[in-house]
Structure 1
Amino acid sequence: MAATTPSLQFLRPYTWRPLLGAAAGGAGKHNNRAAYLRFYHALARQQELAQVDALKYPRLRPPHHNDDVVGMRIPAFREKYANVKAGSVADEEVVVHGRIQSVRRASSKLVFLDIKGEFEHVQGMCNFRKLEESGGATLEGFKKLAKLLNRGDIISVTGRATRTPTGELTVEATRLPELLSPSLVPLPEKLVEDETRIQHRHIDLLVNRRTTDTLRLRSYLIKYLRDFLHERGFLEFQTPILAENAGGAVARPFVTHSADNKELALRIAPELWLKRLVVGGVDRVFELGPAFRKEGIDTTHNPEFYICEFYSAYANLPDLVSLTEDMICGAAQHCQHLISTKLTSLPPVETGKYKRPFRQMEFIPSLEAALGFQLPDLSTDSALEDLVEVLEKNGVQVEKPNPSLPKLLDKLAAQHIEPHSEEGPLFITHHPACMSPLSKSFRCEKTGQLVSARTELFMNGKELANMYEEENDPFAQRQKFIDQVKYREGRQGEKEEDGEMVVDEGYIQALESGLPPTGGWGCGVERLVMLFSGTKRISDVLSFGNLRNVVGLSKAVPVTAATDTTNS
C-alpha cells in the first residue's frame, strides 16, 4: 500500500480547485471544497495506515493461520454465550468480524470496542496485560493499533467470551485485532437531512437504525408472503419482464429496443402471463417480482416497484376476500412480533385494527349515498357525458378537459369512499365494469348498473390489494381490451375500425383453450411495508429511494454539513 499511496506533500489548501476533477471523480456541480476535503482525508488516513505492516487490507483467512480458531457470526456468538456469567471466561477461542461503532480508550493499556455485525452488537476488550501473557502483542504494536482504529473500520477480533462486571457480553482479545478494511472517511454519528440520507444510503444504513429496520421489515414481509402462499398450495413461477406488449393493468409502459431494433416494453404486471399458466394447468400460481409503470413519482408511487400476484383456479370473490383477511391479519401479527423483538426502532403495529371480517362498501351505492343523487347508466357509449352533466347539475365541479370515465369515477371514489378506510381495513366492492377490463362483470340487482366481480382493499386511505374474478370468455375479453384502449385515448364510443387497437391476441388465443373460473389478486409490496413500518414515503422502503433518488447515484456526492461527523 505504501508504494502506491500518493504523497500528501503536493496537497496544499490553495490547490483544492484544480485537483477536483481527479479528486471528486468528475462529480460535476458537486466539485467543491467538501469533495476535496473528503479526498484529502482519505489519502491522509490511507498513508497513515500504510506505515503499519499489519494494516494492509489482509485477505480474509483464519487469523494467524490457526485452523483451531472457530469463526463465528456475532448473532451466533451472542446466542451461544448468552449464559456466560460475569468474571468467567469461556475455554473456546473464536473469531468475530464486524464494523467498529465506537472506540473507548480506558487507559494506555485497555481499549474497548463496540463491534456491529448482522444488525447485532458485541463488545471487544483489548487488555494489553492479557495479550502480553498470551504472546499476542507487544506494547508498541498495541499502542499503534489503539491509536489507528476508528469508528467505521471493519475488523476481526480473536478471543474468548466473557462478561464484564457491568454485565456486557464481551470478546476478550487473545491477539491484537486485525484491520480487514479501514474506513478512510469519518463515519457520522448522525445523518438527518433527507436528501443526504438518500444520496448516501450506505451511510444512512450504518447510522440510522430505523432505516435499517424498515428495509429489514421489507425482507421479512416478502418472505412472509411467499411462505403464506406456499403453505396454501401455490407454486411460484417467474414470467417475462421484457415482451412485445406490457400487458396487464391500465398504465403506460416503458418502451425500449432490442439489439435488432425490435420495440419491447417492460411489463406493467405479470397478470396475463400468470393466467396463461393457469390455462396450462397450474391451478394455483403466484409471482413476486418487479413491475414498471411510466407514471409520476409521489409519496406512494414509484415507476419501478415490487408486486405480488396470485391466481387460484375455481376461487370466487368471497374466497379472495377470506384469503386476504387471513393474509393481512397474519402479516399484522407477524410484523408486530418482529418489531417487538428485532426491529425495535419501528412503531408498534395496531393489531387491534385487523379484526375479521373487514368492513365492505359497494362502490356505486356508497358513491350515490355520498353525492346525494343517482348516477346515470355507466355502461352506455355516452356514459362520460351523462355523468359530467349530472355532476355539474348537482354542483360537483369536473376538471377540464374531462378525464376518461374510469379516471373520473376513480377520483370520485378517492374523495367520497376511500377515506372510510381511516377507521380500519375496508373492502370497496363491485366497481363499474368500465374500471375493470380484465374482470368478469354482471348487472347489479340493487342499482341495475353493469359492475365487476372485483374488490379493492384500502387502509388509511391507500389501496393495498386488488382482486377479482377473471374474465375467461375470450370474446368478452377481446371487447374489453378494445374498450380499455378507447378509454385510455379518450375515444369512448368509437368502433374498432375507427382507430388502431392494441389487443393482446396471443392472450385471447390462450383463453380459447379454456381458462377455468379463476380468482386473481395483486398487491404492491411497498404499500404493505409502508403500512406496517409506519412509514409515509415510498422512498423510505426502497433500498436506494425512488427513481429521482436513483438517477445520478453513480456520481460522487459529498456528505453535506447537515451531518455530524464527530468520531467516538
Structure 2
Amino acid sequence: MSEENKLIAERRQKLQKIRDNQSVAFPNQFRRSHHAAKLHTLYDQYDKDTLAEKNIPVKVIGRMMSQRLFGKGGFAVLRDVSGDIQLFVQINGVGEETFEAFKSWDIGDIIAGEGVLFKTKTGELSVNVSNLQLITKSLRPLPEKFHGLSDQETRYRQRYVDLIVNADSAAVFRIRSKLISEMRRFMESRDFLEVETPMMHVIPGGAAAKPFTTHHNALDLKLYLRVAPELFLKRLVVGGFEKVFEINRNFRNEGVSTKHNPEFTMMEFYWAYRDYNDLMDITEEMFIHLAEQVLGTSKINYQGQAIDFSRPFARETMTDLVVRYSPDLCVEKCNNLSLLQEYCEQQGIGYDKKASKGHLIAELFDIYVEDKLIQPTFVTQYPTEISPLSRRSDDNPEFTDRFELFISGHEIANGFSELNDPEDQAERFKQQVAELEAGDDEAMHFDQDYVRALEYGMPPTAGEGIGIDRLVMLFTDSASIRDVLLFPYMKPE
C-alpha cells in the first residue's frame, strides 16, 4: 500500500470513530463573524495590550493548513476564502475532550473556532479559542506543505486542490473575475446592451473555424456548437439594437496549445453607424481602463516583457509589417502572386498552389511578424480572401477595413467594419462554400437567413471580438491559457 493510501485509510478510520461516537458528526449551524482578511485589516494595527483590553469576540471557519502541538496547547492556521488567521488552542480553554480530539485532526480538515482576539509574543494576530468544532473531515492529504502542488498536469486536473494550496493560482482567478466585471461595466457605461444569443446553431458561422457537432434527438437535427456569436448579434443590429455586446463561450474543434483551448470566453460587441477606426479608439480606451481598474497601473510585465497600455497603440497594415519583417521581401513582390509564390519557394515555405495572394501574405505574417509585436499593435488592412465578413476598403478592394490587436505576440482582438451588402455577402459565402467543398473544414457555410436579414438593411456597423482568456494571461503574467481557465480541457486520465 502506498504512503498516500495508508494516510487515507487512517483518516477513514478517524472518520468512522467520529461517526460512532457522535449522533451528529459534523455540525452545520456555525456562522462566522469575520473573514480572516477583515480581521487583519481591522486589528493588525493594535498592539497586544490594546487588543487585550478590547476583548474582541470573533467566530472564524475554514480549512486547517498547519498545526503545531506542545503539551497542553497548540496552534493551527485556518484558511478561508480571504486569507489565513491563527488559532491558539489550550486544554483549559476548550476542555480536555475537545483538545484531545483536536490533536487527532489532520491538515485539510475544515474547522471552526470561537474566541477572542489577541497577539502572540511575536506579534501575530490570533484567536484564543474557547469553542472549537470539526466541521468537515478531509480524507485525502494535501500536497506537501513547502513544495505545494507543483506538477502542472495535476494542477489542471485537480484545480480544487491547486486553489487550496497555491495562493498565486487563486489570485489569478480573482483577477479574471474582476476583469470581466470591469469589462461589462465599461460597456454598460457607454450604453451597450448586453444580450444572449444561441449556443447551438443549425449553420456554423461567424468565424473561420472547425465546429463541434451535436444532435437534437427530438427534431432529428444536426447542430453545431457556436464558433462565434457574430451573425446573431448582427441580426440584432438589423432589428434596431444599435449597440450590443455578449460575454460568453465559443467552441472550436481545433488543437490544444498554450494559446488555444477548445472552449474559450470572448466578448463580442457591435456598434451601428461606426467603423473600424472607432473600434480601435474604444478598444485602446477600454484596455487602459481595465489595466488601471484591475491592476492599478497602465504598465504590466508579461513573461519578462514590459507592456505599456498608456502609450498610443501602433496602427500598421499587414502588408507593411510583412515587408518589414520578412527577409528580402519588397512591396512589389507582395503585389504579384507569381513573385510571392517564388519568394515562398526561395524561403522554403510550403504553400497550397491554389492559395491566393492574400492567403500567402497572411501566411508570411504568421511566420515572420506575429511574435515580433510586443507592444499593443493594431494590424490593419487584411486581405479580402481571409476576411469573409468584413467590408472592403474604399481605397483598395483587395483589402478590408479590418484589424487584429496583437500584444506580446498574442492575438487579443479582431474587429472590422461589417460587410452590410447582402449581394457581396452572398458571393463571399459562395466562395467559402467552394473552399469547404475543396477540403477546408474551417471555411464557413452559406447562411441564407443571415443574407435575408441583410436584405432588410443593416446600417453601417463595426464589430469586434476580444479574447478574454488571452487578456487574462497578459494581466496575470501566465504563460499558458490553461493557467487562466479553472477547468481547462484535459485528455482522460
Fold shared, TM-score > 0.5 on shorter chain: yes
Residue matched to 2:383: 432
Residue matched to 2:103: 147
Indicate conservation of the 8 Å contact 1:349/1:532, yes or no: no
Residue matched to 2:36: 74
- Any gaps of 5 or more consecutive residues in structure 1? 1-12, 14-32, 63-69, 132-136, 341-345, 493-499, 553-568
What are the within-5 Å matches in structure 2 for residues 523-538 of structure 1?
Answer: 523-538=466-481
Offset at 1:490? 4.0
2:79 pairs, out of 99, 116, 130, with 116
SS in 2 for 1:430: strand
What are the within-5 Å matches in structure 2 for residues 240-389 of structure 1?
Answer: 240-260=198-218, 261-337=220-296, 353-369=308-324, 370=326, 371-375=329-333, 386=338, 389=341
Offset at 1:270? 0.8
Indicate conservation of the 8 Å contact 1:161/1:169, yes or no: yes
| CA distance in 1 between partners of 2:39 and 2:316 (Å) | 53
| CA distance in 2 between partners of 1:94 and 1:122 (Å) | 11
Residues 1:103 and 2:72 are matched in the alignment: no
Indicate conservation of the 8 Å contact 2:298/2:310, yes or no: no
1:522 pairs, out of 465, 470, 478, with 465
Residue matched to 1:46: 15
| CA distance in 2 between partners of 1:139 and 1:513 (Å) | 81
Indicate conservation of the 8 Å contact 1:205/1:211, yes or no: yes
Residue matched to 2:347: 396
| CA distance in 2 between partners of 1:359 and 1:294 (Å) | 32
Indicate conservation of the 8 Å contact 1:336/1:349, yes or no: no
Aligned amino acid, residue 222 of structure 1: I
SS in 1 for 2:293: helix
Indicate conservation of the 8 Å contact 2:323/2:331, yes or no: yes
**CA displacement, residues 134-161 of structure 1 (integer Å, 9 cap, x when unaligned):** xxx322332x123122211111111122
Q: Which one is further off, 428-437 or 206-215?
A: 206-215
| CA distance in 1 between partners of 2:113 and 2:360 (Å) | 64
SS in 2 for 1:482: helix
Instruction: Specify whether residues 262 and 457 from structure 1 end up closer, same or farther in structure 2 by C-alpha distance, changes over 3 A only.
Output: same
Indicate conservation of the 8 Å contact 2:432/2:444, yes or no: no
Aligned amino acid, residue 452 of structure 2: Q
Indicate conservation of the 8 Å contact 2:238/2:454, yes or no: yes
| CA distance in 1 between partners of 2:354 and 2:142 (Å) | 51
**CA displacement, residues 355-405 of structure 1 (integer Å, 9 cap, x when unaligned):** 331112111233245422524668xxxx6xx46634356x13332555744
Aligned amino acid, residue 115 of structure 1: L
Residues 1:214 and 2:183 are matched in the alignment: no
Residues 1:462 and 2:426 are matched in the alignment: no
Instruction: Specify whether residues 82 and 376 from structure 1 end up closer, same or farther in structure 2 by C-alpha distance, changes over 3 A only.
Output: closer
Residue matched to 2:121: 165
Indicate conservation of the 8 Å contact 1:332/1:351, yes or no: no
Residue matched to 1:25: none
Indicate conservation of the 8 Å contact 2:359/2:385, yes or no: no
Instruction: Specify whether residues 319 and 193 from structure 1 end up closer, same or farther in structure 2 by C-alpha distance, changes over 3 A only.
Output: same
| CA distance in 1 between partners of 2:7 and 2:246 (Å) | 44
SS in 1 for 2:48: coil
Residue matched to 2:368: 416
Indicate conservation of the 8 Å contact 2:432/2:445, yes or no: no
| CA distance in 1 between partners of 2:456 and 2:29 (Å) | 58
Residue matched to 2:431: 483
Q: Which one is further off, 53-62 or 327-336?
A: 53-62
What are the within-5 Å matches in structure 2 for residues 552-567 of structure 1?
Answer: 552=493
SS in 2 for 1:290: strand
1:227 pairs, out of 147, 160, 185, with 185
Offset at 1:311? 0.8
| CA distance in 2 between partners of 1:311 and 1:368 (Å) | 32
Offset at 1:535? 1.2
Offset at 1:338? 8.9
SS in 2 for 1:453: strand
Indicate conservation of the 8 Å contact 1:467/1:522, yes or no: yes
Offset at 1:50? 3.8
Higher relative contact order (CA 8 A, sep 6+): 1
Residue matched to 1:203: 161
| CA distance in 2 between partners of 1:392 and 1:357 (Å) | 34
Q: Which one is further off, 223-232 or 263-272?
A: 223-232
Instruction: Specify whether residues 510 and 157 from structure 1 end up closer, same or farther in structure 2 by C-alpha distance, changes over 3 A only.
Output: same
Residue matched to 1:474: 422
**CA displacement, residues 393-421 of structure 1 (integer Å, 9 cap, x when unaligned):** 6x133325557446543221122332331
Offset at 1:256? 0.6
| CA distance in 1 between partners of 2:353 and 2:11 (Å) | 58
Higher strand share: 2
SS in 1 for 2:66: strand
Instruction: Specify whether residues 173 and 38 from structure 1 end up closer, same or farther in structure 2 by C-alpha distance, changes over 3 A only.
Output: closer
| CA distance in 1 between partners of 2:232 and 2:159 (Å) | 35
TM-score w.r.t. structure 2 length? 0.89
Residue matched to 2:448: 505
- Any gaps of 5 or more consecutive residues in structure 2? none
**CA displacement, residues 79-136 of structure 1 (integer Å, 9 cap, x when unaligned):** 444444313244453311111111122x32222111111131111122333x2xxxxx
Offset at 1:541? 1.0
**CA displacement, residues 151-196 of structure 1 (integer Å, 9 cap, x when unaligned):** 1111111112233332222222122x11110111211222212222
State, as a whole percentage, how many aligned pairs show the same letter: 33
| CA distance in 2 between partners of 1:74 and 1:211 (Å) | 19
| CA distance in 2 between partners of 1:215 and 1:84 (Å) | 32
Offset at 1:540? 1.1
**CA displacement, residues 462-516 of structure 1 (integer Å, 9 cap, x when unaligned):** 1011111111111111112222233444489xxxxxxx99311111111122211
| CA distance in 2 between partners of 1:101 and 1:334 (Å) | 32
Aligned amino acid, residue 483 of structure 1: Q
Instruction: Specify whether residues 48 and 337 from structure 1 end up closer, same or farther in structure 2 by C-alpha distance, changes over 3 A only.
Output: farther
| CA distance in 1 between partners of 2:432 and 2:342 (Å) | 23
Residue matched to 1:237: 195
**CA displacement, residues 418-442 of structure 1 (integer Å, 9 cap, x when unaligned):** 23312x1111111111111111002
2:91 pairs, out of 128, 138, 146, with 128
The CA RMSD over aligned residues, in Å, is: 2.9
Residue matched to 1:185: 140
Count residues in correspondence.
Answer: 480
Aligned amino acid, residue 230 of structure 2: E
TM-score w.r.t. structure 1 length? 0.78
Instruction: Specify whether residues 396 and 183 from structure 1 end up closer, same or farther in structure 2 by C-alpha distance, changes over 3 A only.
Output: same
| CA distance in 1 between partners of 2:484 and 2:475 (Å) | 11
